[in-house]
Structure 1
Amino acid sequence: MSALDRLGEYVREHRGGLLTDFVFALAWVTLVNVIFVVVDGPQWAYYMLMLAGVLAYFGFVWSLEIAREGSG
């Protein structure tokens, strides 16, 4: 099995999760950029908010898992 076949298989298996990850990352980066265009804050705060996106992502995924367990 070639690397391209393995990649295709991985994408087919994890399509929903990859899409969720991409949408969250896109929304977070867009939000932080819009805030800093409007506020014109310091560079260190920009990087801290981008880093906070990692924690926000795991909180988001954790809350999705809890919601799925509660509904099923």
Structure 2
Amino acid sequence: MTGTEPSDEPDGDTLLDRVGSHVRENRNGMLQDLVFAVVWVTLTSLLYDFAFASAPQWVLYMFLIAGIPAYFGFFVSLEMAKERR
């Protein structure tokens, strides 16, 4: 062995460089995902706490899981609306 080991990072990029590059490329999408998640969880929690206060906790989990198809439905319809313009 020569004392130098091959690097796992291609072209000298570090993990931090790769993560930074990924974030720069996908900034708007990541921000939209975060905003949707925060709004969905907030609305779901408020709905469960006030409208369904006596409901079992699995109702909260079902509302949260319903966010998955709601997310895809919202962004697919958003893309369709953008294409029509």
Q: TM-score, normalised by structure 2?
A: 0.80
Q: Count how many residue pairs are aligned between Structure 1 and Structure 2.
A: 71
RMSD: 0.8
Q: Return the alpha-carbon distance in structure 2 between the equivalents of residues 34 and 7 of structure 1.
A: 34
1: distance between equivalents of 2:77 and 2:45?
Answer: 25
Percent of aligned positions that are identical: 49
Structure 1: gaps (5+ residues): none
- 4+ residue runs of structure 1 moved beyond 4 angstroms? none
Give unmatched runs, 5+ long, in structure 2. Answer: 1-12
Aligned residue identity for 1:60: F
Greater radius of gyration (CA): 2
Equivalent in 42, 46, 49 of residue 56 of structure 2: 42
**Larger relative contact order (CA 8 Å, sep ≥ 6):** 1
Offset of residue 36 of structure 1: 1.1
TM-superposed deviation, 1:70: 1.1
Distance in 1 separating the partners of 2:26 and 2:82: 17
> Could you say which structure has the higher helix fraction?
1
